[in-house]
Structure 1
Amino acid sequence: MIRFTNDYSEGCHPSILEAMAATNTEGNPGYSTDPHSARAHDLIRQAIGRPDADVHLLVGGTQTNATAIAAFLRPYEAAIAAASGHICVHETGAIEATGHKCIACPAVDGKLTPDAIRTAVASHPDEHMVKPKLVYISQTTEIGTVYSLAEVEALRAVCDELGLWLYLDGARLASGLAAGGPSLADLGRLCDAFYIGGTKNGALFGEALVILNPALKPDFRYNIKQRGGMLAKGWLLGIQFEQLFQEGRYVALAEHANQMALKLKAGIAALGYPFFCDSITNQQFPIFPDAVVEALKPDFGFEFSSKPDADHTCIRLVTSWATPEANVDAFLKALAALTV
Structure 2
Amino acid sequence: MYSFTNDYSEGAHKNILAALIKTNFEQASGYGTDHFCEEAANMIKGLVGNEDSSVHFLAGGTGTNTAAISAFLRAHEGVIAPKSGHINVHESGAIEAVGHKIIQVEETNGKLTAGQVEEIAKAHYEDEEKEHTVKPKMVYISNPTEEGTIYYKDELIKLREVCDKYDMFLYVDGARLGSALTSVDNDLTLKDLGSLTDAFYIG
TM-score, with length taken from structure 1: 0.56
- The Cα shift of 1:188 comes to 0.7
Contact kept in structure 2, 1:146 and 1:181, CA below 8 Å: no
Superposition map of 1:1-340 within 5 A: 3=3, 5-124=5-124, 125=127, 126-179=130-183, 180-197=186-203
For the pair shown, which has the larger CA radius of gyration, 1 or 2?
A: 1
Secondary structure of 2:202's partner?
strand
Counterparts in 2 of 1:14 and 1:84: CA distance versus 1, 3 Å: same
Q: Residues 13-61 of structure 1: CA distance to partner in whole angstroms, max 9, x if unpaired?
A: 1112111111111100111100000000011111111111100011100
Report the residue type matching 1:51 in the other structure: E
Identity %: 52
- Structure with greater contact order relative to length (CA < 8 Å, sep ≥ 6): 1
Contact kept in structure 1, 2:150 and 2:180, CA below 8 Å: yes
- The Cα shift of 1:181 comes to 3.5
Counterparts in 2 of 1:169 and 1:2: CA distance versus 1, 3 Å: closer
Report the residue type matching 1:109 in the other structure: N
Report the residue type matching 2:192 in the other structure: D
Flag structure 2 segments of 5+ consecutive residues without an equivalent.
none
Give the Cα separation in 2 of the matches to 1:162 and 1:48: 25
Contact kept in structure 2, 1:95 and 1:101, CA below 8 Å: yes
Flag structure 1 segments of 5+ consecutive residues without an equivalent.
198-340
Higher strand content, 1 or 2: 1
- The Cα shift of 1:111 comes to 0.7
Q: CA RMSD in A?
A: 1.4
Give the Cα separation in 1 of the matches to 2:156 and 2:13: 30
Counterparts in 2 of 1:134 and 1:4: CA distance versus 1, 3 Å: closer
Q: How many residues align?
A: 197
TM-score, with length taken from structure 2: 0.93
Counterparts in 2 of 1:5 and 1:185: CA distance versus 1, 3 Å: closer
